[in-house]
Structure 1
């Protein structure tokens, strides 16, 4: 399962963790003598989340500065999932400590809320990892090449596979195509399979030629079988399979160079060619 309704699973987990943190902060604050602390604790918790998320994003950008500097607009593409969580937690705690310097009673409930949110986020990540492990392997979906030769996706088993579900009418799909074109050159050990959903060979070729893209392994899935198999609720969707054909990561939405490289290094131990 890649999404819940129209939302990616990771976004749902993050929202749930923030909601848990807010609820715990208010619950603990209820035990304080000052009744106003309940509302203040909830507000301070949400403020700390904002500054924590901002710090986590900036920390990730610094970590992958070369990739983001090459495409500055990608810095604001937060849908790529690029956040350094521990920097965000530290920043949130420092913000709480600073803001509560004149009302130190708020520190305990807000820090308790942050701790609960972090634990909830880790628990959600663990559940997501289990879902990946129990998810379908690289499927035996029958597709075809642009010149109408039949092919099965399982033919790519035996090496890491990045399977991208896309369509030419999809704006974020179009924007991320150069990222995959570059990745094919930088990570030759990985198979980047670009599986078009629901379009004809003429439509796919017209887009690739119009954008002057040189992509390998562009395949056609006219009936969108792959989206049904993986429960994808939107495009683009990117799935990462290890050498044994096991699903190890998913991403719904646009990928940037930094986030793609980060996932390849984390999941496959792959470093780009110099």
Structure 2
């Protein structure tokens, strides 16, 4: 499963697991504080917020040239651009400051952070490994807007970016120029655009109006891809390596930087010039 639908809203599974880990940490901190010490709730929330800011700033610095081209995207966290390493380091530093300046928090805060970390590590990491090893590129035939059948296995042997979209989805529309340009910037990667639930005439009319040229457009009118990969939201972009294994996924709008970051998981190293 890549995402969870909650009525009209959708949440990626990795973010849901982080929220569960934070909830466990808050509960563990509250329980431990009842036997002495202070409730670390305020400290935990501050640490999480600082970790998120650190993760975002670290990501922006890694892809500084891409964000300088459009500085407003720095604060647009919908692209999912977070670097876990800078986030962990920022959170760890904040936790050390709290335990140094407020000794009465050491026990309860330490227990809370330990419980939250164990919860996340015991769920997110194994789940990611299971998904990447079991969600192979399916032997599935979809239609082109012109009515021709295409089997996804025909694209095996090369890295694949599989974007699931619809014309009525605003984030899908906003990210389309980014993906269109990526087709030219990364010729060694195959980009597939699977439209969800619309007919060929609607798709062709939309692409003409948007003035984008996509090389491989497919129609998934029965949400077969969503059922196979466990996707419940749009847009969803799947990153599949040359062996057909799912290596990463992204729920929501992609920016140039976040796309470049995810592509690193499936692109083969280029030989030196």
8 Å contact kept, 1:61–1:75: yes
Cα deviations across residues 144-180 of structure 1 (Å, max 9, x unaligned)? 2232221111111111111111011100100111111
Distance 1:21 1:86 in 2: 20
User: Please, what TM-score do these two structures have when normalized by structure 1?
Assistant: 0.88
Structure 1: 5+ residue stretches without partners:
none
Given the superposition, is the C-alpha separation of residues 121 and 64 from structure 1 closer, same or farther in structure 2, using an over 3 Å criterion?
A: farther
Given the superposition, is the C-alpha separation of residues 13 and 270 from structure 1 closer, same or farther in structure 2, using an over 3 Å criterion?
A: farther
8 Å contact kept, 1:187–1:270: no
Mapped pair 1:29 → 2:33: yes
Cα deviations across residues 221-263 of structure 1 (Å, max 9, x unaligned)? 2333222222221111111211111122222211221111111
Match of 1:19 in 2: 23
8 Å contact kept, 2:133–2:245: no
The alignment's C-alpha RMSD in Å is: 2.2
Distance 1:166 1:212 in 2: 16
Match of 2:214 in 1: 215
Match of 1:56 in 2: 55
Q: Aligned-pair distance for 1:207?
A: 1.7
Match of 1:46 in 2: 45
Map 1:1-274 to 2 at 5 A. 1-5=1-5, 6-32=10-36, 34=37, 37-38=38-39, 41-99=40-98, 102-269=101-268
8 Å contact kept, 2:242–2:266: no
Structure 2: 5+ residue stretches without partners:
none
Given the superposition, is the C-alpha separation of residues 221 and 4 from structure 1 closer, same or farther in structure 2, using an over 3 Å criterion?
A: closer
User: Please, what TM-score do these two structures have when normalized by structure 2?
Assistant: 0.88
Which segment is superposed worse, 182-191 or 140-149? 140-149
